[in-house]
Copies of this chain bind each other. A is one copy, B any other.
Amino acid sequence: MTSIDLASEPLPADTIGLLEGLTTTRSIRRYTGDAVPDAALRAMLFAASRAPSGSNRQPFRFVVLTDGQVAREAKRIVAEGARRAWGHKRAADGYDQGSGARDDSPKARMARAMQTYVDDFEHAPVLVLPCLQRYRAPWSGEGASVYPACQNLLLAARALGYGGVLSMWHELVERELRALLQVPEEVVVSATITIGRPAGHHGPVRRRPLAELVYGERWGEAPDWAIDPPDTRHTSAGPPRATRS
């Protein structure tokens, strides 16, 4: 589809419900080799940019990298950062200690999945670097004008049969990356998102029991209605700790 066609082409029709999408969109780290067509990228980025931002300033910008020369170089740079960062994290968080030494433990499986992801990073079909154009000094609430858009992007990928994952793998190589992409000084690179056709599947995600996350009139005390739907599966997750095994 050429860009001329896209100008007269509406967004694709929905095949997944809104609440279903919200509750069953997983972080997708393994992709088939399929490229993501322009029409799908257009729809994803359109959805991302419909997210709210403070005073509707829209300070979010998205660098979308597919298969051009700069894209390949950017993927290589972030891949190296990801491998270094994951190497540090794997050791520091003790992913290979305790139950991590057993091949079939959740911890060992998580470590393998992450290792595969960073090893293969260059081959992710799409790398998106969501950025925030700062208009005031850094503050703890500034993410409210960029991360809702990132979530819209991941949900839109799901809506179109794709999937992705948000990470901070750019952090260790940010200087090199900014130079390559000519990111202006006042702009923050807010995340690393990869997108592609899932090699696995979306489906229900695991979280803590709702009553641990939702409080009512008093901090730490859940309201009566904070009850997971039937068949919800739980995890406390987070990285492994020295005190866990």
Contact = CB atoms under 8 A, between A and B. Distances in A.
A186 interface: no
Contacts of A214: 45, 49, 61-62, 64
B58 A213 contact: yes
A98 interface: no
A150 B144 contact: yes
A144 B144 contact: no
A230 B10 contact: yes
Interface in A217-245: 217-220, 223-230, 232, 235-239
Measured as residues with beta carbon below 8 angstroms from the partner, the interface class of chain A is 35 or more
Q: Which of A55, A168, A220 lies at the interface centre, i.e. has the most chain B CB atoms within 10 A of its CB?
A: A55
Interface string A7-21: 111111111111111
A225 to B, nearest CB: 4
A174 to B, nearest CB: 11
Given A64-B216, A218-B182, A159 B50 contact: no
Interface stretch (A35-43, A77-85, A117-125): A35-43
Interface in A162-211: 165-166, 168, 171, 181-184, 188, 190-191, 205-208, 210
A52 interface: yes
Interface string A26-38: 0100000000001
Nearest to A93: B55
A141 B142 CA distance: 9
Given A52-B166, A216-B64, A238 B57 contact: yes
A210 B216 CA distance: 40
20 contacts: A8-B230, A14-B19, A18-B18, A18-B158, A19-B43, A22-B152, A23-B50, A25-B50, A27-B52, A45-B210, A45-B226, A49-B210, A49-B214, A57-B237, A61-B215, A62-B213, A69-B217, A143-B143, A148-B148, A183-B219
Given A6-B227, A63-B216, 17 more contacts: A9-B229, A10-B229, A13-B17, A14-B18, A17-B159, A19-B43, A25-B50, A38-B223, A49-B207, A52-B151, A52-B166, A56-B206, A64-B216, A70-B218, A140-B143, A141-B168, A144-B150
